[in-house]
Amino acid sequence: MNLINTLTLSGILFAIGVYGLVTRRNAVGVLMATELLLNSVNLNLVAFNHYLHPAGLGGQMFTLFTITVAAAEATVALALVVALFRARRSVMVEDINQLKW
């Protein structure tokens, strides 16, 4: 295990997240992809902290914040999805295309 391997893993995770974000048709799936993105970033932070600055805890503290914010974000986003479903009877993102022109 070294920094490069960890970063590669994080990069692969991020790419999967982006792919999911762009291709999932279900809003819940899009949210899950977003979680993947956040977690890849968390991995990045922790890895940099561990390998480059072992004495400090900055990266790990930052990760904790990210997890907290991600939880809040998931709550709000899921609430939005529920509200959306109630309003439009659908959670498919291709149906949500009013924001144009």
Q: Is 55 in the site for another protein (CB under 8 A)?
A: no
Q: Are the C-beta atoms of residues 38 and 13 closer than 8 Å to each other?
A: no
Q: Which stretch binds another protein (CB under 8 A): 4-12, 48-56, 75-83, 92-100?
A: 92-100
Closest-CA residue to 41 (of 77, 14, 73): 14
Closest-CA residue to 7 (of 47, 38, 35): 47
> What is the closest distance, in whole angstroms, from the C-beta atom of residue 69 to another protein in the complex?
19
| Touching another protein, residues 7-36 (CB under 8 A) | 18, 21-24, 30
Rounded Cα distance between 65 and 75, Å, is 15
Q: Is 99 in the site for another protein (CB under 8 A)?
A: yes
Q: Is 87 in the site for another protein (CB under 8 A)?
A: no
Q: Are the C-beta atoms of residues 20 and 39 closer than 8 Å to each other?
A: no
Q: Is 76 in the site for another protein (CB under 8 A)?
A: no
Given the rule CB under 8 A, which residues bind another protein? Answer: 18, 21-24, 30, 93-94, 96-101
